[in-house]
Amino acid sequence: MIRKVSRKICLVASILALGLGIAVVSVSPAEAAPIATVMAQTQRMSDATLKSTQAGWYNKGSNLQLSCYKHGQAVKGYFSKNLPNGGWDDLWYRVSDGYFVADVDIETHSNSPVTAPCIGNPAPSSQSKSLAWPLQSVSINRGFGVNGHNGIDLRAGMGTPVYAAADGVVRFEGWGQNNSWMGKPAGICVLLWHPGKNLYTGYAHLSRTVIDSGNTVKKGQLIGYSGNTGQVTGPHLHFEVLPANPSIKPPYYGRINPRPYLP
């Protein structure tokens, strides 16, 4: 996507250059490096639709290497003011990380696709269902996105063992009010970083933990016990997933749907 004012400036510059006898060389999209700049924070999606799984955000000012394009859900965004048809745009790009970004929020210096079309839609490598459930017996009480819910609530009585969903490092354990990402409603909680998967997992409303910040944990290792601390109506485990660079803002405070990562 390109601003109309940018196109006008380029046209004027070309006319001036021709008038001065300067050769004007145009570079086709196929020849140009497929790099785009994010103009406003925008969703990082697993497919070309907001109905797919969101894996965090692309932040304003980031430079993205574009792999291919795909027509998907029509959306509005940063450049909508320059578009006909009410500002809707159905062009999306797959980024080099395997996720999709809406064309309407990025600067590609073209209103036409700047890459070849996508063939197929392989899932990003992080969507490999490689996390384990944090409980031995799983029963979902409340899913992600229900009334703004930013994780999965699993049925668990007081003192049910809670296990690490993957190999990782304990970035935080303790009362949520002492961590800006977890917050007071989480009660006693644990935040694990999984460098091999480039994401975090969170475990909230625990009764106690058995690990310390900085510890290395293995997939399936005991990290604590379920409880009813924090903002709850009864004992259960709140399980959540965060990308490597979450935006801790509403509506989901950086969280993404854990379900695609689980068996």
Question: Domain count of the chain?
Answer: 2
Report the 10 Å Cβ neighbour count for 208: 12
Query: Looking at residues 104-115, what average pLDDT do you find?
Result: 91
Are residues 32 and 98 located together in one domain of the fold? yes
Q: Which of 92, 124, 156 is the last residue in one of the domains?
A: 124
Q: Is the pLDDT of residue 50 over 50?
A: yes
Q: Is the pLDDT of residue 196 over 80?
A: yes
**How do strand 63-75 and strand 89-95 relate by DSSP bridges?**
antiparallel
Give me the pLDDT at residue 1, please: 53
Are residues 102 and 182 located together in one domain of the fold? no
CB-based contact 27:95 (threshold 8 Å): no
pTM for the model stands at: 0.56
Domain that holds residue 162: 140-261
In whole angstroms, give the CA distance from residue 239 to residue 96: 29
Are residues 100 and 182 located together in one domain of the fold? no
For 159-188, write each residue's pLDDT tens digit.
999 999 999 999 999 999 999 999 999 999
What b-and-e string marks burial along 46-75, b requiring 16 or more CB atoms within 10 Å of the CB? Answer: bbbbeebbbbbbbeeebebebbbbbebbeb
Q: Is the pLDDT of residue 94 over 70?
A: yes
Report CA torsion sign: 208, 211, 217, 221.
Answer: negative
256 strand-pairing partners:
241
CB-based contact 80:111 (threshold 8 Å): no
Instruction: Check which CATH number belongs to the domain holding 236 and give it.
Output: 2.70.70.10
Cβ contacts of 196 within 8 Å, gap of 6 or more: 166, 167
